[in-house]
Amino acid sequence: MTCAGSYLAFLATLLGGCSAVRVTPDSQGVSVLLGPCGRGLVVVESDYQSSNVSLLDLDGHVLSESLISSSTESSGFGVALSGDVVTPTNPQNDSEIVLIDRYPAGVLRFVELATAHVRSELSVATGFRSNPQDYLPLTPARAYVARYDKNSNPGRQAWDEGGDVLVIDPSVPAITGSIDLSASLAGEPAKFSPHPARLLKVAGRVFALLAAYANDYASGTSSRLVELDPETDSLISTLVLDGLRGCVSLAASPDEQELAVSCTGVDLRNGQVADSGLALLDIAGAPRIYKRFEASEFGDDPLGFALSYPAPGVLFFNTLGHYDQESGALRALDSLLRLDTVSGQFDELLQSEGEPFTLGGVQCAPSCGLCFAADARRAGGSVLRFVVDSAGNFAAPTAIRAETRVGLPPRYLGAF
């Protein structure tokens, strides 16, 4: 299995897991009113071969053990869910949720919450393995899709360049356009492509985080944050995150005045921390970096693939452990960290249980004083629920099993 630039590919290659599709509980829809902090969590469980999607409310109660899974019929629109499924970065507040089936499928699934019915599916592969990473709705008839990979042989069908932001009409659904991001890499060698990893709408503005890897993933250049104009589907500005590479995580502060970016660095082998770090961006005007933290300030491990704001001036994120590339011996575990971005003080909240690559997505609801983390090992594979005070201090977590019949481990979290 190869999925260049994807967390799944890195883990699957490293861990070498392989299994048949497992049978999950019958699909069950939910009807939940939208509250001040949303409705709850979308939990994606995966063994990297098959997936199940569960729903939790913010109190930690299981709403649906299986909204949809790899054993769910695809309703004639396509193939079943793969083992590489994620949710959008922005909260999903509508009557349906979108699931992004990344690599190799390149499919968006529109799932009705009340019925657990797949309303429709849309392939965004356009003739190649496009590896979509994020989805951002703009209006009922317009949305953006970040396609991570670039097509090595384009020109055979419409919208097949890749490394772009697709424009789609989710009501159909259908592809209607594409935003060329190549201008963001002006001055860089031709071997580098944008590799858009995240999309975020903040205070009416739209941003895309570009990881900026070489087409063969052997190297990377400084990542970028670009602003997009949703009226004209064009590039407004580019901010080069100088010296930070492999930037794939993006979060907005509670007051929507700043963004936080987390970068893994390019080489995750043996826990390399070069070019890994955090950047805080002031977006009151044109985006600018006003503070940064190198990964080495937090220890010897690169930063992970998820971060969130539990309170103003506080970040919640993970680091990646690793095995020795030659001997296979355990060298470091994953960690969950809390950072005071004003003072720079940080605390380790916990480590992964027994092995690395098991602490996954994080999600916070700051106005309700809650944070969550996906833990593939602890308590048999659970979602950790943290109560957080107004200063961003964490109480000890409660472990929640979102799905117990099969026990696929939770990997990613989204808000709905």
Residue-wise DSSP of 61-116 = -EEEEEEEETTS--TTSSPPP-S-EE--SS---SSEEEEEETTTT-EEEEEETTT-
Phi, psi of 369 (to 5 degrees): 65, 45
Radius of gyration of the chain (CA): 20
Specify the pLDDT at position 83.
96
pTM for the whole structure: 0.93
What pLDDT is stored for residue 72 in this prediction?
81
DSSP label of 128: S
The whole-number pLDDT of residue 20 equals 44
Neighbours of 74 (CB within 10 A): 15
Exposed/middle/buried for residue 183 (C-beta within 10 Å: 0-12, 13-18, 19+): exposed
Q: Transcribe 340-392 into DSSP letters.
A: ETTT--EEEEEE-SSSSS-EEEEEEEGGGTEEEEEESSGGGSEEEEEEB-TT-
What is the reported pLDDT for 4? 37
- Preceding peptide of 410 cis, ω within 30°: no
For residue 107, the tally of other CB atoms under 10 A from its CB is: 23
Strands (DSSP E) along 6-59, which ranges? 40-46, 51-57
DSSP E strand boundaries for 124-171? 132-139, 142-147, 165-169
Distance (Å, rounded) from C-alpha 239 to C-alpha 247? 13
The candidate with the shortest Cα–Cα distance to 46, out of 4, 101, 97, 96, is 101
Task: Decide: 134 and 148 in contact? Cβ < 8 Å.
Answer: no
Ranges under pLDDT 50 in the chain? 1-22
**CA 289 to each of CA 200, 292, 357, 359: distance values in angstroms, whole numbers, following the listed order:** 17, 7, 29, 28
Give the Å distances, CA to CA, from 232 to 180, 202, 387.
12, 18, 42
CA proximity to 66, closest of 79, 49, 88, 81:
81
How far apart, in Å, are the Cα atoms of 221 and each of 92, 188, 213, 330?
Answer: 32, 8, 6, 29
Residue (of 282, 280, 90, 316) closest to 198 by Cα position: 90
Residue range 7-415, CATH number: 2.130.10.10
Which residues make Cβ contacts (< 8 Å) with residue 76, sequence separation at least 6? none
Contact 132, 124 (CB under 8 A): yes
The reported pLDDT for the residue numbered 268 is: 79
Residue 139 CA, distance from chain mean position: 22
CA–CA dist 39, 286 (Å, integer): 33
Q: How far from 353 is each of 13, 295, 335, 336, CA to CA, in Å?
A: 21, 22, 10, 12
